[in-house]
Structure 1
Protein backbone atom coordinates (compact mmCIF):
# COMPACT_ATOMS: atom_id res chain seq x y z
CA UNK A 1 0.00 0.00 0.00
CA UNK A 2 1.17 3.51 -0.78
CA UNK A 3 2.49 5.02 2.44
CA UNK A 4 2.68 8.64 1.27
CA UNK A 5 -0.70 10.05 2.23
CA UNK A 6 -2.62 11.61 5.12
CA UNK A 7 -5.86 11.00 6.92
CA UNK A 8 -7.44 14.25 8.05
CA UNK A 9 -10.06 14.79 10.77
CA UNK A 10 -11.50 17.94 12.32
CA UNK A 11 -8.45 18.40 14.57
CA UNK A 12 -5.89 15.84 13.46
CA UNK A 13 -3.61 14.66 10.69
CA UNK A 14 -2.62 11.01 10.70
CA UNK A 15 0.18 9.91 8.39
CA UNK A 16 2.84 7.23 8.15
CA UNK A 17 6.02 7.96 10.09
CA UNK A 18 8.85 9.81 8.38
CA UNK A 19 12.48 10.17 9.45
CA UNK A 20 11.82 13.81 10.37
CA UNK A 21 9.51 12.58 13.17
CA UNK A 22 12.39 11.06 15.13
CA UNK A 23 13.00 13.84 17.66
CA UNK A 24 9.29 14.47 18.23
CA UNK A 25 8.76 10.76 18.86
CA UNK A 26 11.63 10.56 21.36
CA UNK A 27 10.47 13.66 23.22
CA UNK A 28 6.85 12.47 23.42
CA UNK A 29 7.83 9.05 24.74
CA UNK A 30 10.31 10.40 27.27
CA UNK A 31 7.81 12.94 28.62
CA UNK A 32 5.06 10.31 28.84
CA UNK A 33 6.93 7.69 30.84
CA UNK A 34 4.77 8.36 33.92
CA UNK A 35 1.43 7.73 32.18
CA UNK A 36 2.30 5.17 29.48
CA UNK A 37 5.07 2.87 30.76
CA UNK A 38 2.68 0.78 32.86
CA UNK A 39 0.84 -0.26 29.70
CA UNK A 40 3.66 0.06 27.15
CA UNK A 41 6.89 -1.30 28.65
CA UNK A 42 9.07 0.12 25.85
CA UNK A 43 7.87 3.63 26.77
CA UNK A 44 10.50 4.92 29.17
CA UNK A 45 12.65 7.91 29.98
CA UNK A 46 15.53 5.90 28.45
CA UNK A 47 13.92 5.72 24.99
CA UNK A 48 16.46 7.33 22.66
CA UNK A 49 17.13 8.38 19.07
CA UNK A 50 18.54 4.97 18.16
CA UNK A 51 15.33 3.30 19.41
CA UNK A 52 13.20 5.77 17.45
CA UNK A 53 15.28 5.36 14.29
CA UNK A 54 14.92 1.58 14.40
CA UNK A 55 11.18 1.82 15.05
CA UNK A 56 10.54 4.34 12.26
CA UNK A 57 12.53 2.22 9.82
CA UNK A 58 10.55 -0.90 10.83
CA UNK A 59 7.31 1.05 10.46
CA UNK A 60 8.26 2.14 6.95
CA UNK A 61 9.01 -1.48 6.04
CA UNK A 62 5.67 -2.58 7.52
CA UNK A 63 3.87 -0.14 5.21
CA UNK A 64 5.93 -1.23 2.22
CA UNK A 65 4.94 -4.87 2.70
CA UNK A 66 1.39 -4.29 4.06
CA UNK A 67 2.30 -5.97 7.36
CA UNK A 68 1.15 -3.25 9.75
CA UNK A 69 0.00 0.36 9.44
CA UNK A 70 1.41 2.82 11.97
CA UNK A 71 0.37 6.45 11.89
CA UNK A 72 1.94 9.44 13.60
CA UNK A 73 -0.77 11.74 14.98
CA UNK A 74 -0.40 15.51 14.61
CA UNK A 75 -2.59 18.47 15.56
CA UNK A 76 -3.92 20.15 12.41
CA UNK A 77 -3.50 23.67 13.75
CA UNK A 78 0.21 23.62 14.60
CA UNK A 79 1.59 20.22 13.48
CA UNK A 80 2.33 19.27 17.10
CA UNK A 81 3.15 15.56 17.41
CA UNK A 82 0.51 14.02 19.70
CA UNK A 83 1.01 10.28 19.62
CA UNK A 84 0.67 7.15 17.56
CA UNK A 85 -1.94 4.71 16.33
CA UNK A 86 -1.55 1.43 14.49
CA UNK A 87 -3.43 -1.36 12.82
CA UNK A 88 -1.44 -4.51 13.49
CA UNK A 89 -1.72 -8.27 13.92
CA UNK A 90 -3.41 -8.55 10.55
CA UNK A 91 -5.01 -11.93 9.86
CA UNK A 92 -6.02 -13.05 6.39
CA UNK A 93 -7.92 -15.99 7.86
CA UNK A 94 -10.24 -13.83 9.96
CA UNK A 95 -9.84 -10.64 7.86
CA UNK A 96 -9.15 -8.74 11.06
CA UNK A 97 -6.56 -6.60 12.75
CA UNK A 98 -5.83 -4.99 16.10
CA UNK A 99 -5.99 -1.27 16.84
CA UNK A 100 -3.45 0.16 19.28
CA UNK A 101 -2.92 3.77 20.29
CA UNK A 102 -1.17 6.11 22.67
CA UNK A 103 -1.25 9.86 23.22
CA UNK A 104 1.56 11.78 24.92
CA UNK A 105 0.90 12.91 28.48
CA UNK A 106 0.45 16.62 27.75
CA UNK A 107 -2.25 15.88 25.14
CA UNK A 108 -4.25 13.26 27.02
CA UNK A 109 -7.92 13.63 28.03
CA UNK A 110 -8.74 15.87 25.07
CA UNK A 111 -10.43 13.28 22.85
CA UNK A 112 -7.50 12.94 20.43
CA UNK A 113 -7.26 9.15 20.83
CA UNK A 114 -10.97 8.73 20.09
CA UNK A 115 -10.80 10.95 17.02
CA UNK A 116 -7.70 9.12 15.74
CA UNK A 117 -9.22 5.70 16.41
CA UNK A 118 -12.34 6.48 14.43
CA UNK A 119 -10.30 7.65 11.45
CA UNK A 120 -7.86 4.72 11.62
CA UNK A 121 -10.82 2.33 11.77
CA UNK A 122 -12.34 3.97 8.68
CA UNK A 123 -9.01 3.47 6.93
CA UNK A 124 -8.86 -0.19 8.03
CA UNK A 125 -12.38 -0.89 6.79
CA UNK A 126 -12.32 1.12 3.55
CA UNK A 127 -8.70 0.81 2.36
CA UNK A 128 -7.40 -2.39 3.96
CA UNK A 129 -10.87 -3.97 3.62
CA UNK A 130 -10.86 -5.53 7.09
CA UNK A 131 -14.19 -6.71 8.47
CA UNK A 132 -13.19 -6.75 12.15
CA UNK A 133 -10.87 -4.74 14.40
CA UNK A 134 -10.02 -5.72 17.95
CA UNK A 135 -8.90 -3.41 20.73
CA UNK A 136 -7.27 -5.20 23.66
CA UNK A 137 -6.59 -3.36 26.91
CA UNK A 138 -5.04 -4.16 30.25
CA UNK A 139 -7.67 -4.67 32.95
CA UNK A 140 -6.58 -1.48 34.74
CA UNK A 141 -6.18 0.76 31.70
CA UNK A 142 -9.38 2.73 32.13
CA UNK A 143 -8.35 5.50 29.71
CA UNK A 144 -7.88 3.02 26.86
CA UNK A 145 -11.17 1.30 27.73
CA UNK A 146 -13.01 4.64 27.66
CA UNK A 147 -11.46 5.39 24.27
CA UNK A 148 -12.59 2.03 22.90
CA UNK A 149 -16.16 2.63 24.07
CA UNK A 150 -16.15 6.23 22.79
CA UNK A 151 -15.24 4.85 19.34
CA UNK A 152 -18.37 2.70 19.50
CA UNK A 153 -16.38 -0.50 20.04
CA UNK A 154 -18.34 -3.26 21.72
CA UNK A 155 -17.00 -4.99 24.81
CA UNK A 156 -16.86 -8.72 24.11
CA UNK A 157 -15.09 -10.44 26.97
CA UNK A 158 -12.31 -10.73 29.45
CA UNK A 159 -9.84 -12.73 27.39
CA UNK A 160 -7.61 -15.08 29.35
CA UNK A 161 -3.85 -14.75 28.86
CA UNK A 162 -4.41 -12.10 26.15
CA UNK A 163 -1.84 -9.52 27.33
CA UNK A 164 1.82 -10.00 28.21
CA UNK A 165 3.01 -8.08 31.26
CA UNK A 166 6.55 -8.45 32.61
CA UNK A 167 6.99 -11.51 30.41
CA UNK A 168 3.91 -13.25 31.79
CA UNK A 169 0.47 -13.70 30.20
CA UNK A 170 -2.38 -11.96 31.98
CA UNK A 171 -6.05 -11.37 31.23
CA UNK A 172 -7.08 -8.47 29.01
CA UNK A 173 -10.34 -6.86 27.99
CA UNK A 174 -11.38 -7.43 24.38
CA UNK A 175 -13.40 -4.86 22.42
CA UNK A 176 -14.31 -5.06 18.75
CA UNK A 177 -15.35 -2.85 15.86
CA UNK A 178 -17.00 -3.90 12.62
CA UNK A 179 -17.66 -1.59 9.66
CA UNK A 180 -21.21 -0.69 10.72
CA UNK A 181 -19.90 0.60 14.08
CA UNK A 182 -17.97 3.43 12.41
CA UNK A 183 -20.03 5.72 10.18
CA UNK A 184 -18.27 6.49 6.93
CA UNK A 185 -17.84 10.13 6.07
CA UNK A 186 -20.00 11.52 3.27
CA UNK A 187 -16.92 13.02 1.60
CA UNK A 188 -13.50 11.35 1.62
CA UNK A 189 -11.21 12.74 4.30
CA UNK A 190 -8.04 11.02 3.15
CA UNK A 191 -5.71 13.45 1.43
CA UNK A 192 -3.80 11.22 -0.96
CA UNK A 193 -0.76 12.90 -2.42
Structure 2
Protein backbone atom coordinates (compact mmCIF):
# COMPACT_ATOMS: atom_id res chain seq x y z
CA UNK A 1 0.00 0.00 0.00
CA UNK A 2 1.84 3.07 -1.27
CA UNK A 3 1.37 6.42 0.42
CA UNK A 4 2.02 10.02 -0.55
CA UNK A 5 3.71 12.09 2.14
CA UNK A 6 3.53 15.86 2.47
CA UNK A 7 3.83 18.59 5.11
CA UNK A 8 0.64 18.92 7.11
CA UNK A 9 -1.67 21.88 6.58
CA UNK A 10 -3.95 23.63 9.04
CA UNK A 11 -6.97 22.20 7.22
CA UNK A 12 -5.78 18.66 8.06
CA UNK A 13 -6.81 19.29 11.67
CA UNK A 14 -9.86 16.96 11.68
CA UNK A 15 -7.85 14.01 10.36
CA UNK A 16 -4.50 14.69 11.99
CA UNK A 17 -5.38 15.52 15.61
CA UNK A 18 -6.97 12.12 16.40
CA UNK A 19 -3.86 10.46 14.93
CA UNK A 20 -1.53 12.62 17.02
CA UNK A 21 -3.61 11.89 20.13
CA UNK A 22 -3.55 8.15 19.40
CA UNK A 23 0.25 8.17 19.61
CA UNK A 24 0.10 8.47 23.39
CA UNK A 25 -3.38 8.96 24.86
CA UNK A 26 -2.37 8.21 28.45
CA UNK A 27 0.43 10.79 28.40
CA UNK A 28 -1.73 13.39 26.63
CA UNK A 29 -4.62 12.81 29.06
CA UNK A 30 -2.32 13.12 32.06
CA UNK A 31 -0.83 16.44 30.98
CA UNK A 32 -3.76 18.17 29.30
CA UNK A 33 -6.82 16.50 30.85
CA UNK A 34 -8.84 13.81 29.08
CA UNK A 35 -11.87 16.08 28.63
CA UNK A 36 -9.95 18.92 26.92
CA UNK A 37 -6.85 17.47 25.32
CA UNK A 38 -8.10 17.09 21.77
CA UNK A 39 -9.57 20.60 21.79
CA UNK A 40 -6.18 21.91 22.96
CA UNK A 41 -4.38 19.91 20.27
CA UNK A 42 -6.75 21.25 17.62
CA UNK A 43 -6.02 24.84 18.63
CA UNK A 44 -2.27 24.21 18.72
CA UNK A 45 -2.32 22.31 15.40
CA UNK A 46 -3.86 25.15 13.41
CA UNK A 47 -1.30 27.54 14.92
CA UNK A 48 2.11 28.16 13.44
CA UNK A 49 4.44 27.60 16.40
CA UNK A 50 5.53 24.70 18.59
CA UNK A 51 5.71 20.93 18.44
CA UNK A 52 1.93 20.54 18.07
CA UNK A 53 1.64 22.89 15.08
CA UNK A 54 0.75 21.62 11.63
CA UNK A 55 4.02 23.21 10.49
CA UNK A 56 5.91 20.60 12.51
CA UNK A 57 3.94 17.62 11.20
CA UNK A 58 3.80 15.45 8.11
CA UNK A 59 0.89 13.38 6.93
CA UNK A 60 0.59 10.40 4.64
CA UNK A 61 -2.32 10.12 2.24
CA UNK A 62 -3.91 7.10 0.64
CA UNK A 63 -6.29 7.93 -2.22
CA UNK A 64 -6.39 11.53 -1.01
CA UNK A 65 -7.29 10.61 2.59
CA UNK A 66 -4.95 11.28 5.53
CA UNK A 67 -4.19 7.92 7.19
CA UNK A 68 -0.97 8.59 9.12
CA UNK A 69 0.72 11.53 10.85
CA UNK A 70 3.84 12.31 12.80
CA UNK A 71 6.58 14.81 13.51
CA UNK A 72 10.34 15.15 13.72
CA UNK A 73 11.89 17.14 16.56
CA UNK A 74 15.52 18.13 17.01
CA UNK A 75 17.26 19.43 20.11
CA UNK A 76 17.78 22.87 18.63
CA UNK A 77 14.00 23.38 18.78
CA UNK A 78 13.61 22.37 22.46
CA UNK A 79 13.55 25.89 23.91
CA UNK A 80 11.43 27.28 21.08
CA UNK A 81 8.91 24.44 21.47
CA UNK A 82 8.76 24.88 25.26
CA UNK A 83 8.05 28.61 24.96
CA UNK A 84 5.42 28.03 22.28
CA UNK A 85 3.72 25.32 24.36
CA UNK A 86 3.68 27.55 27.43
CA UNK A 87 1.96 30.33 25.50
CA UNK A 88 -0.54 27.91 23.93
CA UNK A 89 -1.37 26.42 27.33
CA UNK A 90 -1.87 29.84 28.92
CA UNK A 91 -4.08 30.93 26.05
CA UNK A 92 -6.22 27.80 26.07
CA UNK A 93 -6.50 26.96 29.79
CA UNK A 94 -6.24 30.40 31.39
CA UNK A 95 -3.76 31.44 34.05
CA UNK A 96 -4.84 29.31 37.01
CA UNK A 97 -5.54 26.05 35.20
CA UNK A 98 -2.31 26.45 33.22
CA UNK A 99 -0.24 26.04 36.38
CA UNK A 100 -1.38 22.43 36.76
CA UNK A 101 -0.96 21.64 33.06
CA UNK A 102 2.58 23.04 33.00
CA UNK A 103 3.47 21.19 36.23
CA UNK A 104 2.22 17.89 34.79
CA UNK A 105 4.09 18.59 31.55
CA UNK A 106 7.34 19.03 33.49
CA UNK A 107 6.64 15.77 35.35
CA UNK A 108 6.13 14.02 32.01
CA UNK A 109 9.57 15.21 30.86
CA UNK A 110 11.13 12.90 33.46
CA UNK A 111 9.53 10.01 31.58
CA UNK A 112 9.63 11.25 27.97
CA UNK A 113 12.66 13.50 27.80
CA UNK A 114 13.25 16.29 25.26
CA UNK A 115 15.40 15.20 22.28
CA UNK A 116 19.15 14.99 22.72
CA UNK A 117 21.52 16.96 20.52
CA UNK A 118 22.43 15.26 17.25
CA UNK A 119 19.29 13.11 17.13
CA UNK A 120 16.36 13.02 14.77
CA UNK A 121 13.51 12.42 17.26
CA UNK A 122 10.31 10.85 15.90
CA UNK A 123 7.07 11.64 17.74
CA UNK A 124 3.28 11.77 17.49
CA UNK A 125 3.26 8.73 15.20
CA UNK A 126 -0.33 7.70 14.60
CA UNK A 127 -2.03 5.42 12.05
CA UNK A 128 -5.73 5.50 11.19
CA UNK A 129 -7.80 3.01 13.20
CA UNK A 130 -8.32 -0.20 11.26
CA UNK A 131 -5.26 0.32 9.05
CA UNK A 132 -2.53 -0.80 11.45
CA UNK A 133 -0.44 -3.79 10.44
CA UNK A 134 -0.49 -2.84 6.76
CA UNK A 135 2.94 -1.22 6.55
CA UNK A 136 1.69 2.35 6.86
CA UNK A 137 3.68 3.12 10.01
CA UNK A 138 6.80 1.58 8.48
CA UNK A 139 6.51 3.83 5.43
CA UNK A 140 6.18 6.93 7.62
CA UNK A 141 9.20 6.00 9.72
CA UNK A 142 11.27 5.24 6.62
CA UNK A 143 10.27 8.64 5.22
CA UNK A 144 11.29 10.34 8.48
CA UNK A 145 14.63 8.52 8.57
CA UNK A 146 15.39 9.80 5.06
CA UNK A 147 14.39 13.34 6.07
CA UNK A 148 16.69 13.09 9.08
CA UNK A 149 19.63 12.00 6.94
CA UNK A 150 18.98 14.87 4.53
CA UNK A 151 19.15 17.24 7.51
CA UNK A 152 22.45 15.76 8.67
CA UNK A 153 20.85 13.80 11.53
CA UNK A 154 21.19 10.14 10.57
CA UNK A 155 20.77 8.87 14.14
CA UNK A 156 17.11 8.59 15.17
CA UNK A 157 15.28 8.11 18.46
CA UNK A 158 11.75 7.70 19.79
CA UNK A 159 9.79 6.73 22.88
CA UNK A 160 7.12 4.05 23.04
CA UNK A 161 4.74 2.99 25.79
CA UNK A 162 5.71 -0.25 27.52
CA UNK A 163 2.07 -1.23 27.04
CA UNK A 164 2.42 -1.12 23.24
CA UNK A 165 4.55 -4.18 22.39
CA UNK A 166 3.34 -4.25 18.76
CA UNK A 167 4.75 -0.77 18.14
CA UNK A 168 7.98 -1.70 19.92
CA UNK A 169 8.32 -4.79 17.75
CA UNK A 170 7.80 -2.65 14.62
CA UNK A 171 10.50 -0.22 15.71
CA UNK A 172 12.88 -3.09 16.44
CA UNK A 173 12.27 -4.52 12.95
CA UNK A 174 13.20 -1.10 11.57
CA UNK A 175 16.52 -1.09 13.40
CA UNK A 176 15.67 0.70 16.66
CA UNK A 177 17.17 -0.73 19.84
CA UNK A 178 16.06 -0.27 23.45
CA UNK A 179 18.34 2.09 25.35
CA UNK A 180 16.40 2.38 28.60
CA UNK A 181 12.98 1.69 30.08
CA UNK A 182 11.87 4.57 32.29
CA UNK A 183 9.57 3.68 35.17
CA UNK A 184 6.49 5.85 35.47
CA UNK A 185 5.33 7.25 38.81
CA UNK A 186 2.51 9.19 37.14
CA UNK A 187 -1.09 8.11 37.66
CA UNK A 188 -2.47 6.32 34.62
CA UNK A 189 0.74 6.69 32.59
CA UNK A 190 2.63 3.47 31.76
CA UNK A 191 6.39 3.03 31.72
CA UNK A 192 8.06 4.26 28.55
CA UNK A 193 10.86 2.72 26.50
CA UNK A 194 13.44 4.98 24.89
CA UNK A 195 14.87 3.61 21.64
CA UNK A 196 17.60 4.74 19.24
CA UNK A 197 18.64 3.78 15.71
CA UNK A 198 22.15 4.41 14.44
TM class by smaller structure? 0.5 to 0.7
Q: Which runs of no fewer than 5 residues in structure 2 stay unpaired?
A: 78-115
Cα 1:132/1:139, change in 2 over 3 Å:
same
Contact in 2 for aligned 1:136/1:172 (Cα 8 Å): yes
Between Structure 1 and Structure 2, how many residues are aligned?
154
63, 66, 70: which one pairs with 1:85?
70
Cα distance in 2 between the residues matched to 1:16 and 1:165? 33
Q: How many angstroms apart in 2 are the aligned matches of 1:106 and 1:44? A: 23
Write out per-residue CA displacement over residues 62-92 of structure 1, whole angstroms, 9 at most, x where no aligned residue. 59xxxx84212211xx111112111124259
Name the structure with the higher strand share: 1
How much does 1:157 deviate?
Answer: 2.7
TM-score (ref. length: structure 2): 0.61
> Do the aligned partners of residues 29 and 122 (structure 1) sit closer, same or farther apart at CA in structure 2, a change above 3 Å counting?
closer
> Corresponding residue for 1:99?
122
Alignment equivalent of 1:149, drawn from 156, 160, 172 = 172
The structure 1 residue matched to 2:42, chosen from 45, 52, 71, is 52
Aligned partners of 1:158 and 1:171 also within 8 Å: no
Q: Which runs of 5+ in 1 are unaligned?
A: 1-9, 179-193
> Normalising to structure 1: TM-score of the pair?
0.62
Root mean square deviation, CA, Å? 3.6
State the distance in 1 between where 2:162 and 2:120 align: 20
